[in-house]
Amino acid sequence: MTHQPYDDRREPARLADILAADETHPTFGRQVMNGISGLLVLMVTGVLILLLVLWKSP
């Protein structure tokens, strides 16, 4: 096939992580806490917008 030499030089399909020398992977507990805190921020923002809309409605 004509594309075979180009396909051999192409990067692999999966993405490789690029980590800095001082970067570490977050622990499972840290990931859970980040997820929960992000969810709470989104929920509070949604409730505030809902209350603002209800307060301004006739």
- Does residue 47 belong to any structural domain of this protein? yes
- Does residue 33 belong to any structural domain of this protein? yes
Nearest by Cα to 45 from 33, 35, 57, 53 = 53
What does the pLDDT look like over 6-52, one tens digit per residue? 555 665 566 666 767 787 888 999 999 999 999 999 999 999 999 99
pTM of the predicted structure, to 2 decimals = 0.57
Q: Contact, 34 vs 26, CB < 8 A?
A: yes
- Does residue 14 belong to any structural domain of this protein? no
- Alpha-helical (H) ranges within 1-58 are 4-9, 28-56
Which pLDDT does position 48 carry in this prediction? 97
How many domains does one find in the chain?
A: 1
What's the domain range around 44? Answer: 29-58
- Does residue 39 belong to any structural domain of this protein? yes
- Does residue 1 belong to any structural domain of this protein? no
- Does residue 40 belong to any structural domain of this protein? yes
* Tokens 């507990």 found at: 29
24 three-state secondary structure: coil
Which pLDDT does position 18 carry in this prediction? 72
